[in-house]
Structure 1
Amino acid sequence: MICEAMEGEINIFSPDTIKRNYVVPATSPENMVRILLTVVAGVTTILAATKLFRWYRIKARILNKQKQCKDAIKQLQDDMDHNGIPKKEVERILGLKFSQLKEKLRKGELKAVTVLKAYQTRALETNKTLNFMVEPVKEAMEYAKQLDKELENGKDPRPLHGIPVSIKENYYLKGYDSTGGMSIFVDKPALKDGPMVSVLKELGCVPFVRTNIPQSMMTFECSNPLYGTTVNPHNHGRGPGGSSGGEGAILGAESSILGFGSDIGGSLRIPSHFCGVFCLKPTAGRLGYRTTEELVHGQTLVTPTIGPMGRDVDTIVTAMKDILCPRLFTEEPQIPPMAFNTQLYESKRQLRIGYYVSDGYVPPIPGVERGLLEAKVALERFGHTLVPFEVPDAAHMFSVLFSKAAFGDGGHNFLSQMAEDRVDPSISLLVKIYRLPNFLIRLLSHVVSFFSKEKPAGTIMRNMLGVDSVYDWWKLAHEITIYKEKFYNLWQEQNLDAIICPTMPYVAPPTGTVKYLLGGVTYTTLYNVINYPAGCVPVTKVTAIDQKNMANYPSNTQTQKFIKKYYSTDTAGLPVAVQCVALPYREEMALRVMKDLESGLRHHLTRSSR
């Protein structure tokens, strides 16, 4: 009946009915535009919401990390306020040289806990103005107590029993993040101590504080969004260098007695030079490869190395003697099991030492030039022969060999790590360049090369794009090998035992200006490219006369103009250090020159003061 009724009145399934009631009319152009705009608005809203969510997530991650570190510092401060030691005791302990402190700790004349409290107290105090401290090591006190208990129970003291040690933030320390100042690595604590930290603890050292670094560790500024900016202990308006900037600052402020940093382009030596402390950049591989998070993995042409920093040469020598032990060679099976060569270090043979005031790229400021010449005279007093040395094409070494190796991937690793991070001003220029299309970077590099008097600047920009193929990488490796041979041949022709030279052509720069002064790193990157050990010895400080003589400094290139701008005032009293260089795996020779230089300068000052 229903069917009959439908047949009599209307069939809803008939073609005419469907067409009349259910077919959508043709869409007008106006409707198409409206739909398109709606889709675009929706996608834009989603993208904006996603970006906002990411921004809040990054901000929350950074704020949470900052709170953790500040809370840890506050907790240590509270502990020192309630359980600290008298100020006179702090000053007495801090006044001890490394050798004296080591002896008193080993004999039990000083407790490891007491010494730790003295250095914790001083570090907390100076950190308020310098901001070198990432966070204290919360296990330090328990470990110091354990060491004291070992002595009380009649156990022989460990080689570096109770010595407090500051550690650069990128060292693997169980339970702590190694971020390199990048939020992507927050909340990813190390599952165990790295080999060097493990060895230091075995030797009886007490890691007590972790120190600041620049974001990405690809600059010698010392600033990042997580931990803030570290300043120079000799002038708070200037930087401490990087990337081991926190180590330079804490040691320069005499708030640590032994520290450890790392170096791939000068990151140990630059802070030592800027802050007036000693260091040794060993041959890459002498102290191992697996101790730190270097943020870039797989690049093997110019490799990073770890090394000690201290307030005199004896500190560095003692550390190297004890570190080069069976435990290290077990922890780091890839390194040669070479103990410290005491015979080479203690030899009294007079040496033939090359020297240069300038590497031919960026000329040194007057105070740096004077410091190098004073070092030359001090070594000649020891009977050593000093002969001029000329660096082969430092500009090519830096703009091609170092730059292409260090940025061989065209910045892909760097950008991937920075993709969701707040960019610190110290590396903002690098980030902006890398975010440009490759063709535009190439175009800009040629424009820079054409108009700039500083020709290598354009070459550096092009080489930041990395290599295009495995074949190009092999060619670069071969070029570096040829350069190494050329340098060694010059060394052999002059029958050299060592070289002394400036660490940098200028002293500590004003905070935030490093991006204008990158040309100065040819002095340090050279010895990373050829992989020679190099140590730093503070030799003098900039004087008012040095500052006045900046009027005669050249202004031919943009870098020189910036140097003249930043170093014509406010530099008096800033430290100047000299590099002491030896052949690969001859760290003991570099240290011997460092010791003779330190002794010669001290002897001269003693006689001059009479």
Structure 2
Amino acid sequence: MTGNDAIGLAIGPITRSLFASDLFMQVMIDYKPYLYDHTNVAIPWTPAPKPKKLRIGVEVWDGYVMPHPPIVRAIKELEAKIKAYKGDVEIEVVPYESYKPWYAWSIISQLYYPDAGADDKRAMDAVNEPHCFMTDYIMNHEFVKPLSVTELWAKNHERDVFRSEHAEYWHSKNIDVLICPASPFSAPKPHTTKYWPYTSHWNLVDYPSIIFPVSEVKETDLPVPDYKPVSPMDEFVYNLYGGPEEYAKSQVALQLVGFRYQDEKVFAAMSVIEEIQKS
């Protein structure tokens, strides 16, 4: 909705390599978009050198929705590879717990649609565009309601307080980057993508991230027997995984996250991760 800047927009290139993503960022920022778009910040793209040291946080799950077995396995395999790395970068790996994930979701899902999607619905209905099931799902989510101006101000304040708290939490962990799931599943079945806080969390706090492939679903990625869900959403998501045969050879991706305005450092760290993956 035009004028709704509660959650900022960002260009997310889909490329075949880290080099291509870096080139995209370089070209776009060299164009000086801040001269034409007042929402842009006049910060040049300055590639960061290969780090000499890295302290990497690893989050297996956010404590609210457990990723499917292929995702968990991929994280643990990558973590083991990083710990075994004997290259020229001194790396320390530490566990990381997500900061208030469900609360963060309650904030951003509302700020996506401060009018509960009324403007979007009008636009779709004006051209007889059918409503996508998942679009209706988020616009009618339990956290989404039409806000008054005063309520929107309050929600924006809540967002800003959370961002400050999150920054303090992040720095308390003393990490350079974080490896975490990009999604709880590898390839979601139609009309089942009801949980995306593994990425929206970083949209809310405005941290850069790179999603990268690490594996594919394997025959050994069996469901966990007698899994005990910790929330209704956890139960819904976990029950979607009937076994590896339903997701045969689908790609498994993870996510590398850095602190706000440290995009180039994320790219530099990603180059080290790629080196480790290829070793």
When normalised by structure 1's length, the TM-score is: 0.42
Instruction: Report deviation, 1:589.
Output: 1.2
Give the distance between the partners of 1:528 and 1:464, measured in 2 at CA: 17
AA aligned opposite 1:328: P
* SS of structure 2 residue aligned to 1:584: coil
Question: Do the aligned residues in 2 keep the contact of 1:357 with 1:502 (CA within 8 Å)?
Answer: yes
Counterpart amino acid of residue 198 in structure 2: Y
1:366 aligns with 2:57: no
**Inter-partner Cα distance in structure 1 for 2:53 and 2:95:** 17
2:28 corresponds to 1:323: yes
CA contact 1:534–1:581 (8 Å) conserved in 2? yes
Deviation (angstroms), 1:311:
1.1
1:391 to 88, 98, 112: 98
The alpha-carbon deviation at position 531 of structure 1 amounts to: 0.6
- Alpha-carbon shift at residue 564 of structure 1 (Å): 2.5
**CA 1:475–1:561 in 2, change beyond 3 Å: closer, same or farther?**
closer
Hey, what's the Cα distance between the residues in 2 that align with 1:558 and 1:335? 36
User: For residues 403 and 581 of structure 1, what CA distance do their matches in structure 2 show?
Assistant: 21
Distance 1:585 1:477 in 2: 20
Give unpaired runs (5+ residues) of structure 2. Answer: none
Q: Is the 8 A contact 1:301 1:405 kept in 2?
A: yes
Instruction: Give, as a single letter, the amino acid of the residue that structure 2 aligns with 1:549.
Output: P
1:464–1:582 Cα change, 3 Å:
same
Structural RMSD (CA) = 2.3
Higher relative contact order by CA 8 Å / sep ≥ 6: 1 or 2? Answer: 2
CA distance change for structure 1 residues 354 and 566 in 2, over 3 Å: closer, same or farther? closer
Checking the alignment, whether the CA contact within 8 Å between 2:223 and 2:241 is kept in structure 1 is no
SS in 2 for 1:335: coil
Conserved 8 A contact 1:364-1:505: yes
Cα distance in 1 for residues equivalent to 2:135 and 2:275 = 43
Cα distance in structure 2, aligned partners of 1:358 and 1:491: 16
* Gap change, CA 1:562 and 1:498, over 3 Å in 2: closer
Give the Cα separation in 2 of the matches to 1:427 and 1:578: 23
Task: Find the partner of 2:203 among 528, 553, 564.
Answer: 528
Q: 1:593 aligns with which of 261, 269, 274?
A: 269
Structure 1 counterpart of 2:267, one-letter code: L
Name the structure 2 match of 1:543. Answer: 218
Instruction: Indicate whether 1:572 and 2:248 are aligned.
Output: yes
Q: Which region of structure 1 is more displaced relative to structure 2, 535-544 or 369-378?
A: 369-378
Question: For each residue in 1:476-502, what CA deviation from the matched residue of structure 2 results, as whole angstroms up to 9, or x when unmatched?
Answer: 111111111111111111212111100
In structure 2, distance between residues paired with 1:363 and 1:500? 15
**Counterparts in 2 of 1:476 and 1:383: CA distance versus 1, 3 Å:** same
Distance 2:241 2:255 in 1: 23
Relative to 1, partners in 2 of residues 1:395 and 1:375: Cα closer, same or farther, differing over 3 Å?
Answer: same
The equivalent of 2:16 in structure 1 is 311
Q: Secondary structure at the match of 1:340?
A: coil
Confirm or deny: 8 A CA contact 1:536 1:594 kept in the other structure: no
Q: CA deviation at 1:361?
A: 1.4
2:88 maps to 1:409: no
Tell me by how many angstroms 1:425 deviates: 4.9
Displacement after TM superposition at 1:351 (Å): 1.2
Contact kept? 2:32, 2:42, Cα under 8 Å:
no
Which secondary structure does the structure 1 equivalent of 2:178 belong to?
A: strand
- CA 1:480–1:545: 2 relative to 1, 3 Å: same
AA aligned to 1:386 is: V
Q: C-alpha displacement at 1:328, in angstroms?
A: 3.1
**Aligned partner letter, 1:347:** K
For residues 141-540 of structure 1, what are the structure 2 equivalents within 5 Å?
296-342=1-47, 345-380=48-83, 381=85, 382-398=89-105, 400-420=106-126, 421-427=128-134, 429-430=136-137, 460-461=141-142, 463-467=143-147, 469-510=148-189, 512-514=190-192, 517-519=193-195, 521-540=196-215
Going from structure 1 to structure 2, the CA distance change for 1:524 and 1:333 (only over 3 Å counts) comes to: same
TM-score by length of 2: 0.88
- Give the secondary-structure state (helix, strand or coil) at the position aligned to 2:214: strand
SS in 2 for 1:324: helix
Contact 1:354 1:498 (8 Å CA) reproduced: yes
Which is helix-richer, 1 or 2? 1
* Cα distance in 2 between the residues matched to 1:579 and 1:532: 12
Residues 535 and 558 of structure 1: CA distance in aligned 2, closer, same or farther (over 3 Å)? closer
How far off is 1:360 after superposition? 1.2
1:405·1:466 contact (CA, 8 Å) conserved in 2? no
Tell me how many residue pairs correspond in the alignment.
272
Distance 1:423 1:566 in 2: 29
Q: What is the CA–CA distance in structure 2 between the aligned matches of 1:496 and 1:313, rounded to whole Å? A: 22
Identity of matched residues, %:
22
> Which amino acid in 2 is paired with 1:413?
D
Task: Indicate the residue corresponding to 1:74 in structure 2.
Answer: none
Q: Specify the SS of the correspondent of 1:499.
A: strand
Letter aligned with residue 379 of structure 1: I
When residues 543 and 601 of structure 1 are mapped into structure 2, their CA distance, relative to the original with a 3 A threshold, is: same
In 2: Cα distance, 1:389 partner to 1:566 partner:
25
Conservation of the 8 A alpha-carbon contact between 2:177 and 2:259: yes
Task: Give the direction of change, closer, same or farther, for the CA distance of 1:410–1:334 in structure 2 (3 Å limit).
Answer: closer
Aligned-partner Cα distance in 2 for 1:378–1:303: 35
